[in-house]
Amino acid sequence: MAVLLLAEVNNGELAMDATAKAVTAAKALGDVTVLAAGASAAAAGEAAAKIDGVSKVLVAEDPSLGHRLAESTAALIVSLADDYEHIVAPATTDAKNVMPRVAALLDVMVISDASGVVDANTFERPIYAGNAVQTVKSSDAKKVVTFRTSTFDAAGEGGSASVETVSAADNPGLSEWVEDKVAESDRPELTSAGVVVSGGRGVGSEEDFALIEKLADKLGAAVGASRAAVDSGYAPNDWQVGQTGKVVAPDLYIAVGISGAIQHLAGMKDSKIIVAINKDEEAPIFQVADFGLVADLFEAVPALTEKL
Amino acid sequence: MKVLVPVKRVIDYNVKVRVKADGSGVDLANVKMSMNPFDEIAVEEAIRLKEAGKADEIVVVSIGVKQSQETLRTALAMGADRAILVVAAEDVHTDIEPLAVAKILAKVVEEEKPDIVLAGKQAIDNDMNATGQMLAALLGWSQGTFASELNIEGDNAVVTREVDGGLQTIKVSMPTIVTVDLRLNEPRYASLPNIMKAKKKPLDEKTAADYGVDTAPRLEIVKTEEPAARAAGIIVGSVDELVEKLKEAGAV
C-alpha cells in the first residue's frame, strides 16, 4: 500500500516541521513517497529525503507549480495518483486549497484535518470547532486526507530516500500569482513554536499588544491572538489561534486576556501546559488551564516578563 | 454579471454543541439553526458587488433539508434576488457530503451560468473546508480560496487570500469560484421591511434526484464523541508562584 504525501514547500524550501509531522501520520498507512513541487523544489526534495520513514521522493519543478497554485498542483497530483491508495498532506492552508480539488477530480471525498489514524480507511477528525470528534470510515478506492499537524509528532531525520524527478502536468492556466505579503518576523513560526504567548480582547489595544510581544520575546516564543483580538484590530490575522485560525500545540501556551471562547480553545487545547492570565475568574479559559492566575494583565505580564 | 451563492443551514454558532449519548452524532433536534457564518459573508459580498454595479443578479442555493428554505429567505432578505432549494435530506441530522453538494452545485451552475460562485470557506458543522474547491474541480474552473479581498477586473478576479504566512494575492480567470474568509466584510442584518419583501421573492424547490446526483455518503460515520477533557489545573496566587510552578514543570 503506497502513500503519496504532498510536502509543504514555500519558495523552494521545505517546511520541515509540517511535512515531518504528516510523515508520522502517513507511515501508519503504508510506504511513503513524498512529492516536492514548486518552481524550484530540488532542495526541498533533498531535505524531505532525510525524513525518517520516507522511502522515495518525487521532485516536480516547473514555473506553473510556483506559489502553490491549486489548479496546476492538483493536476500534477492527479497525474501521479494511479500508483497510490492514499494521497495525503499536512493540513496547511496550501494543502486545504489543493487537496479537495484533487479529491473531486478523482471522484472521492476528502478527509480534512484528520487528528488520528484508526486504520487505512478510518480516521478521526474534529468537527464543530473541536466540540466533537468524529470517526469516519471511507469507502472510496483512494483516500485523500489532510492531517492536523498539532496532533502528530514530527518524524526524525536520518533517512536516505531516493530522489526522482517527475514532470509537471499540463498547466490549466486558470490562475496566476500576483504577490505574497508575508509578515517578516524573527520569532518562531506559530504552528511549530515550542512556546506561544497569545493575547485576547483583554489586551485592549494594538499598542498594548507590545506587552504580549515582550513576554514572547523573553521566552523565545511565537505570538498568537484570539479571534476577538484580531477582529478588534489589535493583531494581524495570521496570528489568529482557533477554529478559524491556526491550530497549535506547543509545550507551553500562555493565554493573556483571553476569555476562552470555544472557537479559541479548539486551536490550542492540545498544548502540553496551558497558562491563563485573566482578571475575570469566571473566564472559561481557566477550565483548560494547568496554571491560572486571576490578575490584571497590565501588572502581571510585565512582572512575569521580568521574573522569567 | 451573475453571482451564485451556496448557503448552508447549520447549528447557530452561539449554541453549545452537545454530542448525543449514543455516539451517533451531535444533537440538532430543537436547536437554533442559522446560516453558516462564512456563507453570510459570501451573500454580503455578492450584494456589495451588485450595489457597486458589478453584478446584476444574485441567486442563492441551499442543499439539505426542507427547512433550509428559512436560510434562503434570510439570504433573500439580505438582498439576494432569487433562491433555489434542493431538498436532499429528510432528517436534520443528515449532512450531505461536500462531494455530493459540489456535484449538485455543478448542475445548478450549468443551468444558471453564473460568472462567479461565492461560497463560504467552510461550514462550521463538519468543518470540512472542501465544497468550493471541489466545485471548481468538477467545473474545471479556477479557484480563489480563503478570500479577504475581492476585486473584479474585466475577465479576471483578483483575490487576496488568507494563507499561513500572511496574505497571497492571485489573479484568476472568470468564471471562477471564490471561497470567503472572515475578514472580507461584515454582513448586514436584514431589515424588517426587507424580511417582508423576501417572502415574495421567487424560491424554486428541487430535489437531488432532479439533478441526477447520488448523495450516498462516501464516509461512514462510525461514531461521534466528546473530545477528551483536560485534567483540572490549579489557580496560583501570584506571579511568583506561577514562575515557580512553571520551573517545577520544566516549562521554562
Here the ipTM equals: 0.95
Out of A70, A129, A136, closest to residue B133 by CB: A70
State the cell numbers at A96. Answer: 486545504
- Whole-structure pTM value: 0.93
Task: Give the pLDDT score at B165.
Answer: 80
Chain A contact for B127, CB < 8 A? Answer: yes
Beta strands A54-61; A162-165: pairing state: parallel
CB contact under 8 A, A174 and B235: no
Name every chain B residue with its beta carbon within 8 A of the beta carbon of A177. 168-170
Is B165 in CB contact (< 8 Å) with chain A? yes
Minimum CA–CA partner of B25 in chain A: A134
Find the residue in A nearest to B96 (Cα): A109
Distance to chain B for A34, nearest Cα, Å: 21
Instruction: Pick one of 3.40.50.880, 3.30.70.3000, 3.40.50.1220, 1.20.1250.20 as the CATH number of A190-307.
Output: 3.40.50.1220
The β-bridge relationship of strands A116-119 and A122-127 is antiparallel
A104 touches chain B (CB under 8 A): yes
Residues of chain B with Cβ-Cβ distance to A289 below 8 Å are 233
Are domains A2-165 and A190-307 of this chain identical in fold? yes
- What are the pLDDT digits (tens) for B199-247? 999 999 999 999 999 999 999 999 999 988 888 799 999 999 999 999 9
What's at A69, amino acid-wise? Answer: L
**Interface contact A290-B102, CB threshold 8 A:** no
Q: How far apart are CA A291 and CA A305, in angstroms?
A: 16
What is the per-residue pLDDT across B10-37, written as a single tens digit (0 to 9) for each?
999 888 899 999 999 999 989 999 999 9
Q: Express each pLDDT in B140-168 by its tens digit.
A: 999 999 999 999 999 999 999 999 888 99
Gap between the Cα atoms of A293 and A274, Å rounded: 11
- Give domain limits for chain A: 2-165, 190-307
Residues in chain A predicted with pLDDT less than 70, given as ranges, are none
Beta bridge partners of B206: B86
Cβ–Cβ < 8 Å for A149, A22: yes
- Longest CA pairwise span in chain A (Å): 60
Confirm if B178 and B144 have CB atoms less than 8 A apart. yes
Q: Which segments of A2-160 are extended strands (E)?
A: 2-6, 9-10, 13-14, 31-38, 54-61, 86-90, 110-114, 116-119, 122-127, 132-138, 143-147
Above pLDDT 70, what percent of chain A? 100
Contact status of A186 with chain B (Cβ, < 8 Å): no
Instruction: Measure A183 CA to nearest chain B CA, in Å.
Output: 6
pLDDT digits (tens, 9 = 90+) for A232-283: 999 988 899 997 788 899 999 999 999 999 889 989 988 999 999 999 999 9
Whole-number pLDDT of residue B164: 86
Q: Which residues contact B185 (CB under 8 A, 6 or more apart)?
A: B41, B44, B45, B48
Architecture of the domain delimited by A2-165 = 3-Layer(aba) Sandwich (3.40)
Neighboring chain A residues of B166 at a CB cutoff of 8 Å: 180-183, 236, 238
Average pLDDT, chain B: 96
Among A175, A248, A279, A288, the residue to mutate for chain B (most B Cβ within 10 A): A175
Put simply, whether A255 touches B (Cβ < 8 Å) is: no
In chain B, residues with a C-beta closer than 8 Å to the C-beta of A238 are: 162, 164-167
**Residue A252, C-alpha cell as written in the block:** 507551553
CB contact under 8 A, A10 and B165: yes
Amino acid A184: pLDDT: 75
Which among B170, B243, B245 is the top mutation candidate for probing chain A, defined by the most A β-carbons within 10 Å of its own β-carbon? Answer: B170
pLDDT of residue A244: 76
Please report, for residues A87, A300, B183, B237, B252, the alpha-carbon distance to residue A294 in angstroms, rounded to integers and kept in the order given: 47, 9, 32, 8, 20
Q: Which residues pair with A198 in a beta bridge?
A: A224, A255
